[in-house]
Amino acid sequence: MRTDRLVQGLFVALLLVLPAVLAPFYVTLLNYIGLYALVALGLVLLTGVGGLTSFGQAAFVGLGAYTTAVLSTTPELPGWIAWAGASPWLTLLVGLVFTATVAVVVGSLTLKLSGHFLPLGTIAWGISLYFLFGTLESLGGHTGITGISPITLFGVVLDAGEKIYYLIWAFVMVAVFTTQNLLDSREGRAIRALKGGMVMAEAMGVDTSRSRMIIFVIAALHACASGWLYAHMQRFVNPTPFGLHIGIEYLFMAVIGGAGHVWGALVGAGLITVLKQWLQDILPRLLGSAGNFEAIVFGVMMVLVLQRAREGLWPVLKKLVPVKAPQKTIDPAADTLPRRDLPTAGEVILEARNVTRKFGGLVANNDMNLTVKAGEILALIGPNGAGKSTMFNQLSGVDTPTSGEVLFLGKPVAGRDSREIARMGMSRTFQHVRLLPTMTVLENVAIGAHLRGGKGVFHAAWRQDRAEEARLLKEAARQIERVGLGSHMYEEAGSLALGQQRILEIARALCSDPCLLLLDEPAAGLRLKEKEALGDLLRKLRAEGMAILIVEHDMDFVMGLVDRVVVMEFGQKIAEGLPDEVQRDPAVLEAYLGGV
């Protein structure tokens, strides 16, 4: 049996017996831990994995709690919603739909904010919702709403702590497992790329704004469910537990537990809840006066964790109990992904017409013309500062020419976003390697296959995507073998040598099944042997009908490999032709010798 499953099974078994052996006070404590863990789990996805810091989660808990409170206690609900008053389960449904709607609205307003503006934005709507709860007459103002009915499940009324305990922890465990599943999927890789890999992910066809919205809504739904459980456990609600300081506390839990790890949410929620209880008891007695001294201790703790264990406590704990999740396996029986028909050799794939790009007074590209044909390798070379990377950006659609146009498969590239261009069959690598260092080589390369799968979040969360996932991983593995990184498949991408990382990027680009490959300085940092291997790989791809454009500084690498060369200097094309011709061209010799 897999040890990770065994440990998880033991944990669930422990959860099942605890209420039988613990005093009611501790069961209540565990209930709170469960409720907090549910919210913190959303923050793991949103903040720890996705890199979007939110101080406002408590407000979403409030939405869940107040929705069910209002619907369960209002005697005469308006006709259209009257059905919801019949059962807490219906109010949960309404709450989730309502919260998702609010999250989409709030998310579309705030998620575009960058840097520290996003957290500030979450503080803003967190405060607004909190004051809304306290101000609205119909929500009972600061006294709140009482008389909320308990939840009934299979005829059992969950009106005591040890009864609702099971429901709360069932929610938590479902959330833990669905979140784990989600992170281990196509959508999950897209989500994990949000933190530090947005440009790369977009180039691989990931809709990063959509992924951001997805985790924002999921985190809000977790909070809403927690609020619903809370309202029916307490049987009354008032605004206090939904304020900004509780929102901060949720973030504390996630960060101290380990914001990047699903189990970190449980550790953080458990630790903070127990510690708070204990400190509230002991500190006033020690210090001989009443007060919220625990807040000070938490502040110090937070600083210590940030200094000593950035990743939170979970990774530290995990080292004590070494439970390894098994390596992903490649299923050789999985279907092979369908492939795009490559254009016939010699057909023009990419064409730049009179492309000019000015940066203020500087003309980085001046009236550039070039074509790349199927089954051909074209090199764009030139001394430093010649305008190669600028040209690369015009060709790949990252930047728009000041004048002139770029046609890919006969269609203009300008104005299209990276995703659409990727979908059309153009794939690229980056001059400065862009990969996700803590993910394995296999997972990094699999991001390249994003557009070749379609299963969404729901399928992933409930493991309904396994057949597709097997196909994507098989394809990723095939590309990794093809570029010669097979023996590094399961290593962290960040542990590879720079040259290997560049090769990884080529495998990732190939994984999208392109007809045009754009490589920005692929040989930089490669050793001679690696350069030879790269050359062989590119020749093989060319033989298969791939069109390849290489932007390169290294003359020697290019000359033995490519079919045609375009040479740039000062933003202009100074020569074009066969490698031999170009090498003898006086203008080129002048540019290179003068440039060095």
Cα(258)–Cα(393) distance, rounded to whole angstroms?
Answer: 38
Among 389, 400, 402, 438, binds ligand ADP (CB under 6 A): 389
Residue 390: which of ligand ADP, Mg ion, none does it interact with, CB under 5 to 8 A by kind? ligand ADP
For the CA atoms of 542, 546, 549, 550, the dihedral, rounded to the nearest 10 degrees, stands at -50
**253 contributes a contact to ligand ADP by CB under 6 A:** no
Tell me which of ligand ADP, Mg ion, none is bound by residue 62, counting a contact when its beta carbon lies within the kind-specific cut-off of 5 to 8 angstroms: none
State the Cα torsion 438-442-444-450 to the nearest 10°.
Answer: -140
- Which is nearer to ligand ADP, 329 or 384 (by Cβ)? 384
Q: What is the 3-state secondary structure (H, E, C) of 247-311?
A: HHHHHHHHHHHCCCCHHHHHHHHHHHHHHHHHHHHHHHHHHCCCCCHHHHHHHHHHHHHHHHCCC
Is residue 346 helix, strand or coil?
A: coil
The binding track of 341-370 with respect to ligand ADP, each residue x by CB under 6 A or -, is ------------------x--x-x------
Q: Is 393 in the site for Mg ion (CB under 5 A)?
A: no
Residue 388 in the binding site for ligand ADP (CB under 6 A): yes
Beta bridge partners of 259: none
Site for ligand ADP contains 400 (CB under 6 A): no
- CB-based contacts of 110, cutoff 8 Å, min separation 6: 118, 121, 122, 124, 125
Instruction: State the minimum distance, in angstroms, from the CB of residue 562 to ligand ADP.
Output: 17
261 binds, among ligand ADP, Mg ion, none (CB under 5 to 8 A by kind): none
**Is residue 389 a contact point for Mg ion (CB under 5 A)?**
yes
Closest distance to Mg ion from the beta carbon of 107 (Å): 36
Give CA–CA dist 125/116, Å, rounded. 15
The distance of Cα 95 from the centroid of its chain, to the nearest Å, equals 26
Which amino acid belongs to residue 143? T
* Contact pick of 126, 382, 448, 499 for ligand ADP (by CB under 6 A): 382
Which secondary structure element, helix H or strand E, spans residue 403, and what is its range? strand 403-408
| Nearer Cβ to ligand ADP (227/387) | 387
- Minimum Å gap between C-beta 553 and Mg ion is 8
User: 222 vs 357, which CB is nearer to ligand ADP?
Assistant: 357
Q: Is 594 in the site for ligand ADP (CB under 6 A)?
A: no
- Scanning 129-137, 239-247, 389-397, 471-479 for contacts with Mg ion by CB under 5 A, the matching segment is 389-397
Tell me whether strands 403-408 and 377-381 are parallel, antiparallel or unpaired. unpaired
Q: Say whether 433 sits in a helix, a strand or coil.
A: coil
d(CA 405, CA 415): 11
Task: Between 32 and 392, name the residue whose CB sits nearer to Mg ion.
Answer: 392
State the number of binding residues for ligand ADP (CB under 6 A). 11
Q: Total binding residues for Mg ion by CB under 5 A?
A: 1
The interface region with Mg ion, picked from 115-123, 326-334, 387-395, 464-472 by CB under 5 A, is 387-395
Applying CB under 5 A, the residues found at the interface with Mg ion are 389
Applying CB under 6 A, the residues found at the interface with ligand ADP are 359, 362, 364, 382, 384-390
